[in-house]
Amino acid sequence: MYATVTSDCIGCGACEEICPQVFRINLYEIAEAYTNPIPRDAEEATKQAAKSCPVAAIILE
């Protein structure tokens, strides 16, 4: 599984809070997926982070 954060991100930090092993807020104050492919032990948390995104800016493939 791979994660991508689109330009729709508003930098709320929810994804980083739910799954810090995959997401972080970068210097531009928006989220980025810094771990790809997603480790198997982080897949469920990554899915939860994507569902929790208020602007649906996380794409999982």
Q: From the centroid of its chain, how far is CA 21?
A: 9
**pTM (predicted TM-score):** 0.93
Concatenating the DSSP letter of every residue in 29-59 gives SSEEE-SSSPPGGGHHHHHHHHHH-TT--EE
pLDDT-derived band at 7 (thresholds 50, 70, 90) equals very high
What is residue 27's predicted lDDT score, i.e. its pLDDT? 96
Per-residue pLDDT of 16-61, as tens digits, reads 999 999 999 999 999 999 999 999 999 999 999 999 999 999 999 9
